[in-house]
A and B are shown apart, each in its own frame.
Chain A
Amino acid sequence: MTHQELIPHLFRTEFSKIVAVLCKLLGIEHIEIAEDIAGETFLSALESWPYKGIPENPAAWLYTVAKNKAKNKLKRDQLFAGKITREIKKAIDENNEACIDLSDQNITDSQLQMLFAICHPSIAEESQIGLALRILCGFGPDEIANAFLTNRETINKRLFRAREKLRKEKIKIEFPGEKEIGKRIEPVLTILYLLFNEGYYSESQNSILREDLCLEAMRLTYLLIENEKTNLSPVNALLSLFCFHASRFEARSNENGEIVLYQDQDRSKWNYELINKGIYYLQQASKGNMLTKYHLEASIAYWHTIKNDTQEKWDNILQLYNRLLQVEYSPIAALNRTYALAKAHSKQEAIIEAEKLKLINNPYYYSLLGHLYTGLDNEKAIGHLKMAISLAKSAADRDVLNKRIKKIE
């Protein structure tokens, strides 16, 4: 890798580590200082590496520079130094190397504790995702804006508000107690789930960025599993779900970047290594007697990795959707249940059920009705598909729908 490629790559992976460790050391109220020090560290790399060459161990080089910058900052800035605890100051004065601990263990712990801090219930969900992407995944404001299809200013404002909130609420960077962890893990899993979905279903054209979002969500979930305290059944279920979804990355779009629907996918492009990992984590998740929506969604995703359309497959998927909807309603689950009903029973029965859903502002509702009527009443099918086109949010979706109309005609 040349330095032009290496620095952005390292930025992603190392920025978040440096910020988490410094933040843990200085306290969450100094989150911006931690970000600044990490940012300046990379600036130093950009200035120095092109002339002096890339150091043998770039990460270690970055850590040393970050440590020195942190120490200088603490010594120089009296005002700031007055605000931090005496213990940190003492450690810095004595030039104690251990005080800025960039060991693998402390990096992982700090990142996990940051994850819990960011997912504090007092912070709005969209800010939590933004902050997680910035602080834990090292995404720049432009990248976050691209993923959310919004602009840089909006993201900066969101991040600013989230940091303010962290400060005001005096949220501590620590692991929740053993009794609380079951409850505190819920918003963490929600954020990881949203992070993954943002990548998997985003309308952003940048497919590499989208895959990165998914991989980051998987990496953070994996960190939770690696830690004994947070290796819980729903966490395993979530990672299993991610593995099954991610196994279809390759098959989901064709060489022109167009969406390929599940039933049309080239199944030889599915990643069986990831499918097997998904099965492993699903087995881990089934230990104990918890049944969360992640367990149900992972089980549904598992059945989707079975190639052949058997009665057993769709019976199981239908029953899982029945249960999922009892745990948590969502329009997409309601629509998917009806699709499964058509596969398990009949299109006629599914039409009766679909018309009860009345999701009249949802393009996927009409897309489903279009599918169900195809072959039974093609005129109605086309009518529903046209309705779906008028409600569709992206050009890619409209493309797919137009192609389906042409097929019927």
Chain B
Amino acid sequence: MLIFRHQDGSKLASPEQMQIWMKQTMDWIGSIAAQNKFSGGNGLPFDDAKVVHHKGIVTNGPFGEIKETIGGYIVVKADSVDEAVEFAKGSPVLQGDGNTVEVRKIAKGDGVH
């Protein structure tokens, strides 16, 4: 699983710039899918996010404290962590300084992913 951590793009950039990032992201995912290595994924919009705390306290989004929050994820079918890291390197998210793509295995007990 490749997890994107970045700032809320809509606060930094124009809608036109967002559109370009969106296209780049789709091209990047399309490239992985064209290699039959794409398994699934979702964008996680920043608006309307809530955090539920201890004792049932609910606040709006985690964005106050954390600069890089989770903006989405995709699941890839990689033969090794190295292959997954290679996919991650192509992510347009990394164009932003401080942004990261976290590579994690999904626990399945079959040794894959």
Residues of A within 8 A of B (CB): 315, 318-319, 321-323, 325-326, 329, 333-334, 337-338, 341, 353, 356-358
| Residue B98 interfacial (CB < 8 Å) | no
Residue interface mask B29-46, A partner, CB < 8 A = 1: 111011110100000000
**Is B81 engaged at the interface, CB distance under 8 Å to the other chain?**
no
A318-B30, A322-B27 given. 6 additional CB < 8 A pairs? A323-B30, A325-B34, A329-B34, A334-B33, A334-B34, A334-B35
Q: Which of B23, B26, B33, B35 has the most CB of A within 10 A?
A: B33
A337 and B29 within 8 A (CB): no
The CA of A357 and the CA of B27, in the complex, are separated in Å by 15
Expressed in whole angstroms, the Cα–Cα distance for A356 and B90 within the complex equals: 13
Residues on the A chain within 8 Å of B26, using CB: 319, 322-323
Q: Which residues of B contact A334 (CB under 8 A)?
A: 33-36
Please measure, in the bound complex, the distance between the C-alpha atom of A326 and the C-alpha atom of B30, giving whole angstroms: 7
Select from chain B the residue with minimum beta-carbon distance to A335.
Answer: B34
CA distance A337 to B38 in the complex (A): 15
Q: Which residues of chain A come closer than 8 Å to B29, judged between CB atoms? A: 322, 326
Q: Are A326's CB and B33's CB within 8 A?
A: yes
Residue of B with least CB distance to A319: B26
Q: Are A329 and B27 in contact (CB under 8 A)?
A: no
User: Closest 7 CB pairs between A and B?
Assistant: A322-B30, A325-B33, A334-B34, A329-B36, A322-B26, A326-B33, A337-B34
Q: Which residue of A lies closest to B40 (CB)?
A: A326
The total of interchain contacts (Cβ-Cβ below 8 angstroms) comes to 43
Chain B contacts of A356 at CB under 8 A?
A: 31, 34-35
Residues of B contacting A319 in the complex (Cβ-Cβ under 8 angstroms): 23, 26, 30
Interface residues of B (CB under 8 A from A): 23, 26-27, 29-31, 33-36, 38
Report the bound CA distance from A169 to B33 in whole Å: 38
B58 to chain A, nearest CB (A): 29
Q: How far is the CB of B12 from chain A (nearest CB, A)?
A: 23
Q: Cα distance A326–B31 when bound, in Å?
A: 10
Contact B35–A321 (Cβ < 8 Å): no
Partner of A353, one of B23, B34, B38: B34
Kindly state the separation between the CA atoms of A326 and B33 in the bound complex, as whole angstroms: 6
Quote the shortest CB–CB distance from A278 to chain B (angstroms).
24
Asked whether B33 lies within 8 Å of A322 as measured between CB atoms, the reply is yes
Most buried by A among B27, B30, B35: B30
28 A-B contact pairs sorted by A residue (CB < 8 Å): A315-B23, A318-B30, A319-B26, A319-B30, A321-B30, A322-B26, A322-B27, A322-B29, A322-B33, A323-B26, A323-B30, A325-B34, A325-B38, A326-B30, A326-B33, A326-B38, A329-B34, A329-B36, A333-B34, A334-B34, A334-B35, A334-B36, A353-B31, A353-B34, A356-B31, A356-B35, A357-B35, A358-B35
A269 to chain B, nearest CB (A): 32
Report the minimal beta-carbon distance from A274 to chain B, rounded to whole angstroms.
29
Q: How far is the CB of B42 from chain A (nearest CB, A)?
A: 11
B38 touches A329 (CB 8 A): yes
Task: Report Cα–Cα, A318/B34, bound state, in Å.
Answer: 12
Contacts of B34 in A (CB 8 A): 325, 329, 333-334, 337-338, 353, 356-357
Q: From A329, which residue of chain B is reached at the shortest CB distance? A: B36
| CA of A187 to CA of B36, assembled, Å | 23
Complex-state Cα separation, A358 to B37, whole angstroms: 13
Measured between C-beta atoms, what is the minimum distance from A354 to chain B in Å?
Answer: 9
Most buried by B among A319, A321, A325, A341: A325
The docked-state distance in angstroms from the alpha carbon of A225 to that of B9 is 44
Distance in angstroms between the alpha carbons of A337 and B28 in the assembled complex: 12
CA distance A353 to B27 in the complex (A): 11
Q: Which residues of B contact A358 (CB under 8 A)?
A: 35
Residue on A nearest B34 in the bound complex, by CB: A334
State in angstroms the CA–CA spacing of A338 and B31 once bound together: 9
Partner of A329, one of B23, B31, B33: B33
Q: How many angstroms from the CA of A315 to the CA of B29 in the assembled complex?
A: 15
Bound-state CA distance A282–B98 (Å) is 43
- Residues in A with CB closer than 8 Å to B27 are 318, 322, 341
Contacts of A357 in B (CB 8 A): 34-35
- Cα A357 to Cα B38 with chains together (Å): 13
Bound-state CA distance A358–B38 (Å) is 16
* Min CB gap B13→A, angstroms: 20
Q: Bound state CA distance, A358 and B31, in angstroms?
A: 13
- Which residue of chain B has the shortest Cβ distance to A315 in the bound complex? B23
Complex interface: chain B residues within 8 A of A323 (CB)? 26, 30
Q: In the docked arrangement, what's the CA distance between A89 and B103, Å?
A: 69
CB distance from B100 to the nearest CB of A (A): 23
